[in-house]
Amino acid sequence: MFEHVVTLRTVEEVDETILLHLFFNSSSDLQNMPIPDDAKSVLVRQQFLAEQYFLKTHFPDADVCVIFLNEQPIGRLNVHRGQEAYRILAIALLPEFRSMGIGRSLLEDILQEAAKCRKKVCLQVAWHNGLARALYERLGFEMVEDKGVYCEMQWTP
């Protein structure tokens, strides 16, 4: 398991720059777009703001956190704890912090909490994100719906 100190902190208004950095740098799809850097910057900011608007509109009471490793921001985690189920809205780590057990540990914590409440946990993951899908499957998530580019996965206690 991971030996460094991993903490979560609720997002604050001053975190927009950190969140934008994490949004862009945790997605190879965004980084590898074949367009000029200035256009990429504008597009990424628009996608980030659209995601933020969607999450605030549809999940206003979700927990939105920055993941820190030894006080360095390395990722983001958004979780909605609904009446019937938990929904992981976003979990993303910067590439250099993946495959270290951090994401798995955070997910296991959420699953333990949900199990105590007897609630299922849902998420969506892109089909092309094989590493994430494999992790979710190892944790007991099952694919419940093919949504084209994404699949809906669910864990049941």
Q: What is the per-residue pLDDT for 4?
A: 75
Q: What is the pLDDT along the chain (157 residues), one digit of tens a residue?
A: 556 789 999 998 888 888 888 887 776 666 667 778 788 778 888 888 898 899 999 999 999 999 999 989 999 999 999 999 999 999 999 888 988 999 999 999 999 999 999 999 999 999 988 889 999 999 999 999 999 999 999 999 9
Which two three-digit tokens encode residue 38? 């200035």
Q: What is the per-residue pLDDT for 23?
A: 80
59 vs 43: CA distance, rounded Å? 24
**Residue with tokens 């990429």, as numbered in its chain:** 40
Cα→Cα distances 146→1, 127, 152, Å: 32, 9, 6
Identify the structural domains of the chain with CATH numbers, from first to last.
6-155 (3.40.630.30)
Cα torsion 40, 41, 44, 45: sign = negative
Q: Which segments within 13-141 are labelled E, that is strand? A: 63-69, 72-81, 85-93, 120-126
Q: What is the per-residue pLDDT for 20?
A: 83
Cβ 66 vs Cβ 78: under 8 Å: no
Half-sphere exposure of 39 (CA within 13 A, CB side): 5
